[in-house]
Every structure is written in C-alpha cells, then in structure tokens.
Amino acid sequence: MNLAIDLERVISEIDALSAFSDAEPPAVTRIVFTLTDLKARAWMKARCEQAGLAVRVDAVGNTFARWIGSDPAAPVVGTGSHIDAIPNAGKYDGVVGVLGGLEAIRALQRAGFRPKHSIELLVFTSEEPTRFGVGCLGSRLLSGSLSPEDAEKLTDSQGASLDQARRQAGMTGDLDQVRLLNGYHKAFVELHIEQGPLLEQQGKSLGLVERIAAPASLRVHVEGTGGHAGAVLMSQRQDALCAAAELILAVEQAARSSGSVDTVATVGICDVFPGAVNSIPSKVYFTVDVRDTDLQRRDRVLRVLNEACRQTSARRQVAVQAELLNADAPADCATAIVGALSQACKKHGFSFLPMTSRAYHDSLFISRIAPVAMLFIPCRNGYSHRPDEYASPEDIGKGTLVLAEALATLSCA
Ligand code: GLV
Ligand code: MN
Ligand code: MN
C-alpha cells in the first residue's frame, strides 16, 4: 500500500480551523457551544462529509465520522481528539488529532485500502474544562464515567447549565443516549501534540504513550469579612484572600514535597470579591488542578489541601468550602495498539520514545471502555496552552502517517 499524506492540505486545514477563534491571532480561544465553536463544528462536519464519511452528532455534541468497513457490524477502530481551545491557546492542541485523523483516513482511501472494521473519527465535546469546570465532558459521558444526571447539573460561570447550553447549541437529544455500548470500539488511537519538551530534548520523532496520568480538580470558595482597607485594624480582619493565599501555597508545597517530579499542582483561576483596591476581600474563589502518574501520591496532595482548608478556616475564622470536581484514575495504554504504532514507526524509520502523558486526554476516559493508545508529536520548547504553541509540518506529517499505518493494521484483522 502506498500511503501518502497530503501535508499541505492538513497544514492549511489547521490554519483554517484556527480562524474560528475569539482571540486575536496567533492566539486561539474556542469555548464549547459558543457561536465560534458551532461555526468550527459545522466546518469540521463539512470536511468529514467531503471525505465521504457518514457523520452523526450525539446529544452532547460528540461528532462521529465513519468510514464504513466491509464488515459494518464489527467493532469500530476509532481515532480523534478535540477542537475546543482554552482562552489564549494555540492552534495545535486537539486539532492535530482531529485533522491528522481525518487526513489519515483520506490517505488510506487514496491508497485504495479497504477496512474490514469501520474506521471512525471522533471529535469530542469539551475536552477543556473552561466552561463547565470539568474536562473531557464528551468522553466522560461516552464512557459512563459521568452520569447524564450529574452532567445535566453542571453549570458555567454565568449560571447556564450544560443542558441549557447544549440545547441552545442545537443538541436536543437525550443525554442517556450518549454512552457507548461495551465493545463499540475494537481500538482507539489518539494523535496529539506532546505538550511537554521530552521528544524535542531527546531528538525523537514521535512519542508512544504507555500511560496517562491521573488528574483531579477542585473548586474552593473562601468567605471572610469585607470592610474598609483603612479603617479595619489588622487584628480584626477575616481576609478571604489572605486565607486563600495560604491554601494556594499549601497546595504548591504538597506537590513540591511529594518526593516525585510527577506530582504537579496548579491554581489557574483566583477571583477576588469585591476586587477593589481599598476593600478587604470578603470572598475568594479559586480552582486547584492536581495530577500525578501515581494515584496515592495524587490523593495525598488532596488530603493535605483538605487539612489545610480545615486549619486555615479555624485559625482565620473564615468559611472554606472545597468541592471536588473530579479525581480520576490513571490509564494504561493497550500493548497491542502501542505495538502497531511502534511497527509503523520502524517501517518508516522514525525514532520514538515510550512515554507517559502528563496531560489528560479523552483517551483517558475511552480507556474505561476500550483498548486505547496515544501517539505524540513534538512541540517546540514543549509549549502548549499558549499562542506560540507550534508543531512542525514535518512532525505532523510523520504522526499522521504512523497513525494511518496503525489504523490500517487495526482495521484489517
Ligand atoms: C488538557 O487540556 C489538560 O489540561 O491536560
Ligand atoms: Mn488542552
Ligand atoms: Mn488536548
């Protein structure tokens, strides 16, 4: 089979998709179910239909584009990723897996390949947690990791529920219908940029992911007493921001002292009320994101935070409420799929690095219902979740080619 990737086309599609954005280029912001996201989805659907794929969209907006195999009833070989983007992001995170996946299918079609198992591109809804606080919404629902009832209750910062937002976006079906049947996938492979520096540092062409780290996230509300910044004496204060600052540093310290570089913790949002120069903060809201390859170490950080909340609340006389949004287990990738990827790398003479994904991905949740693996492409300086995120056309071409080879191997037997 003579597989050839149309690199010019993939790169121009990545550029075209980046134009659907609520930020000034080169930054990309594409939040789930905004008008911009809906336009990007329509564009994506049209690309899939042009490739002759049968497209269906489920009740939460997960989009499936299927190349029907010679045995249509056989379990599907899946690939894909997400096209939503956090505020001030770059244009490759998720997108490379979606457009690279589409091009891998087109390359197989051009080569005259005929799959036995259908090959299906999956564009997941809201891999990013920006709007509803929890990442991987689509894949959580697909895998039964989030119940439809709990999903319906999720709200955004404006008070809109996921249910309202999806219905307004035209996804009116029943969330009960989203979950995939066991055995739906024979295999699922996600192509993604590395989002870290190891491939570049070690001069390897591609990363073969063997394990995906375990993420957890919380929302913390601190309520103290507001007042005049001049008139209230220090001994009389219950400053919510000072209490939050202690908690934020406690999280940082817990991650730093875990004994492993694999423990990471981040406070990415901190809102202060009323937010005036001369007013003592009465309320603070912040988020905590903790990850580790080891579940016990990750959970230790969560326990340290809970204890810090208790102690700070008592000492400073402020109310602290920590709401755990998610605490997910890590995932192991399937040896057979990693094997198919490494065979493809060897066939084309591409060097590769077995690695752990420290970022989470929809594959983490699909792994609960199907064998998965991930293929990483280097990204410059390891930059991601920022506008200067960059993956070279050459590396995107290599990743897409290896993906196409692996999809061929997995779908023919
Ligand atoms: C995904 O975007 C992550 O935060 O790992
Ligand atoms: Mn991301
Ligand atoms: Mn991503």
Ligand closest to the CA atom of residue 194: 3
CA of 234 to the centre of ligand 3 (A): 45
Instruction: State the average pLDDT over residues 137-155.
Output: 96
Alpha-carbon distance of 180 to 187, in angstroms, equals 13
CA of 353 to the centre of ligand 3 (A): 19
pLDDT of residue 264: 97
Ligand closest to the CA atom of residue 358: 1
Instruction: State the average pLDDT over residues 249-272.
Output: 97
Instruction: State the average pLDDT over residues 324-353.
Output: 98
Give residue 338's region: left, alpha or beta (phi > 0; psi -120 to 50).
Answer: alpha
- CA 362 to chain CA centroid, Å, is 6
* All residues at 6 or more sequence positions from 158 whose CB lies less than 8 Å from its CB, including other chains: none
CA dihedral 366, 370, 376, 381 (to 10 degrees): 30
pLDDT of residue 182: 87
Task: Specify the ligand 1 atom closest to the Cα of 289.
Answer: 4
Instruction: State the average pLDDT over residues 233-239.
Output: 98
359 lines ligand 1 (CB under 6 A): yes
Neighbours of ion ligand 2 (CB under 5 A): 93
Task: Tell whether the model's pLDDT for residue 302 goes beyond 90.
Answer: yes
C-alpha triplet 204, 205, 211: angle, nearest 5°:
75
Ligand closest to the CA atom of residue 86: 2
Whole-number percent of the chain with pLDDT over 70: 100
Task: Tell whether the model's pLDDT for residue 45 goes beyond 80.
Answer: yes
Task: Tell whether the model's pLDDT for residue 1 goes beyond 90.
Answer: no
Best substitution site from 326, 358, 385, 386 to test ligand 1's pocket, by max atoms within 8 Å of Cβ? Answer: 385
Alpha-carbon distance of 406 to 42, in angstroms, equals 28
CA of 361 to the centre of ligand 1 (A): 7
- Asked whether the bond before 274 is cis by omega within 30 degrees of 0, the reply is yes
In this structure, are residues 76 and 184 in contact, taking their beta carbons and an 8 Å threshold? yes
pLDDT of residue 218: 97
- Average model confidence (pLDDT) across the chain: 97
Give the residue whose CA is nearest to atom 5 of ligand 1: 359
Best substitution site from 128, 131, 358 to test ligand 1's pocket, by max atoms within 8 Å of Cβ? Answer: 128
279, containing H or E segment: strand 279-280
Whole-number percent of the chain with pLDDT over 90: 99
59, two tokens: 């009740």
Calculate the alpha carbon distances from 377 to 80, 352, 361, 367 in Å: 14, 10, 14, 20
Instruction: State the average pLDDT over residues 11-17.
Output: 98
16, two tokens: 């075209």
Instruction: State the average pLDDT over residues 290-294.
Output: 96
Best substitution site from 136, 195, 328 to test ligand 1's pocket, by max atoms within 8 Å of Cβ? Answer: 195
Instruction: State the average pLDDT over residues 311-324.
Output: 98
pLDDT of residue 61: 98
- Is the whole-model pTM more than 0.75? yes
- pLDDT tens string 380-395: 999 999 999 999 999 9
- pLDDT tier, 39 (very low <50, low <70, confident <90, very high otherwise): very high
In this structure, are residues 93 and 117 in contact, taking their beta carbons and an 8 Å threshold? no
Instruction: State the average pLDDT over residues 339-353.
Output: 98
190 lines ligand 1 (CB under 6 A): no
Instruction: State the average pLDDT over residues 398-402.
Output: 98
- pLDDT tier, 29 (very low <50, low <70, confident <90, very high otherwise): very high
pLDDT of residue 318: 98
Q: Please give, one letter per residue, the 3-state secondary structure of 204-265.
A: CCEEEEEEECEEEEEEEEEECECEECCCCCHHHCECHHHHHHHHHHHHHHHHHCCCCCCCEE
- pLDDT tens string 91-131: 999 999 999 999 999 999 999 999 999 999 999 999 999 99
Alpha-carbon distance of 40 to 43, in angstroms, equals 5
In this structure, are residues 241 and 299 in contact, taking their beta carbons and an 8 Å threshold? no
CA of 308 to the centre of ligand 3 (A): 31
Instruction: State the average pLDDT over residues 191-196.
Output: 98
pLDDT of residue 127: 98
Taking Cα atoms as reference points, which of 132, 189, 141, 192 lies closest to residue 164? 132
128 lines ligand 1 (CB under 6 A): yes
Task: Tell whether the model's pLDDT for residue 413 goes beyond 80.
Answer: no
376 lines ligand 1 (CB under 6 A): no
